[in-house]
Amino acid sequence: MEFTAQQIADFLQGTIEGNPNVSVHTVAKIEEGHTGALSFLANPKYEPYIYSTHSSIVLVNKTFKPEKQVESTLIRVEDAYVAFAKLLELYNKTKNNKNGIEQPCFIDSTAKIGENVYIGAFSYIGKNVRIENNVQIFPQTYLGDNVEVGENSVLYSGVKVYFDCKIGKNCILHSGVVVGSDGFGFAPQEDCTYKKIPQIGNVIIEDNVEIGANTTIDRATLGSTILRKGVKLDNLIQIAHNVEIGENTVVAALSGVSGSTKIGKNCVLAGQVGVVGHLNIGDNITIGAQSGVTSNLKDNSIVLGSPALPISDFRKAIVVFKRLPDLDKQISELKKQFQQYKSENQ
């Protein structure tokens, strides 16, 4: 699809400098721009490219002041980065706007399917499943019995949602996501074997949640594992049974949260963070990459390291850590001097 500068400016409530009739059909980085492409400039370090780019249209902040002539048509907006994200969202919806029920797939007669729903081939829809309006379910997706999927949600190919789990509105689950697999619950026996503890709870995912590819969210032993509204999970994350993650918390790839831990709202967990079970992590917490969290954290904390320390303590500790080789040499030298002193004074 093609859009003119005027159409884009109207959608973004921006102002045009240049040809309002110039059209674009794709997007590109400003440094790789070409005719027919839309780019944006938000970071000042990329400003030199705006004078050489071949993109037909470039989004810029209203405050941008060019130092020389710009060949592209400019659309001025309050925030070029946010505006570009809105356009990408619109572009993505247009590109992936599928409709109808493909065959072969299985839909149980008790399932309730809303309007304007897409269900891809080889999908399985179990008993009493409820799929609301405008949901897109891509091929080879499995929805177990009693699953609910809210309006405008998208489940990409290969998503598996076990029985009784609930997915809210405007959610995105990427390929390979598993929702509602059994929590890791085993009771040790006297003969050193383990007896499985049935996991009879579910997973509740509230509205506006996005879950990256191959992330797994275990069902609760009892009750619910809960992702509150606005949570964003990266790829390859493990969320264990009975975990609760608060509103608008984001978790980066390769992180894991152990069972029954509660994480507050507006938290940031960087890549490869590990959190042990049964902890209370407060609101507005930032946990640095590769940190291991072994104790409760108070609101507004910033921690780093394994075990995780307050960032001020970690910085002091790392200074000492870097000096350990020199300190070891000094200690060895002092030991030699002490031994020499002893031998000379015996």
The pLDDT score that the predictor gives to residue 212 is: 98
The pLDDT score that the predictor gives to residue 97 is: 79
Q: Report the DSSP pairing between strands 238-239 and 256-257.
A: parallel
Q: Which residues contact 164 (CB under 8 A, 6 or more apart)?
A: 144, 145, 146, 147, 180, 202, 219
Structure tokens at 338: 């002490």
Q: Which domains does the chain have, with CATH numbers?
A: 3-95 (3.40.1390.10), 100-312 (2.160.10.10)
For residues 336 and 293, what is the distance between their CA atoms, to the nearest angstrom?
41
Residue 187 DSSP code: E
The pLDDT score that the predictor gives to residue 53 is: 97
For residues 32 and 292, what is the distance between their CA atoms, to the nearest angstrom?
40
CB 173 within 8 A of CB 180: no
Average pLDDT over residues 152-174: 98
The pLDDT score that the predictor gives to residue 251 is: 98
Could you tell me the CA-to-CA distances from 230 to 26, 63, 188, 208, 254 in Å, in that order? 29, 31, 38, 5, 20
Of the residues 34, 174, 241, 278, only one is catalytic, namely: 241
Q: Of 126, 124, 159, which Cα lies nearest the Cα of 145?
A: 126
For residues 142 and 101, what is the distance between their CA atoms, to the nearest angstrom?
14
Structure tokens at 255: 């992180």
Q: Of 42, 45, 41, 48, which Cα lies nearest the Cα of 67?
A: 48
Average pLDDT over residues 147-175: 98
For residues 264 and 282, what is the distance between their CA atoms, to the nearest angstrom?
5
Is 241 tagged catalytic? yes
Interval 94-121: pLDDT, tens: 777 788 999 999 999 999 999 999 999 9
The pLDDT score that the predictor gives to residue 92 is: 77
Interval 2-60: pLDDT, tens: 899 999 999 999 999 999 999 999 999 999 999 999 999 999 999 999 999 999 999 99
The pLDDT score that the predictor gives to residue 8 is: 96
> Tokens 């809303």 map to which residue?
114
The pLDDT score that the predictor gives to residue 95 is: 74
For residues 344 and 23, what is the distance between their CA atoms, to the nearest angstrom?
91
The pLDDT score that the predictor gives to residue 96 is: 74
Regarding pTM above 0.85, the answer is yes
Average pLDDT over residues 180-186: 96
pLDDT at 1 over 80: no
Interval 186-234: pLDDT, tens: 999 999 999 999 999 999 999 999 999 999 999 999 999 999 999 999 9
The pLDDT score that the predictor gives to residue 182 is: 97
Tell me the three state secondary structure of residue 339: helix
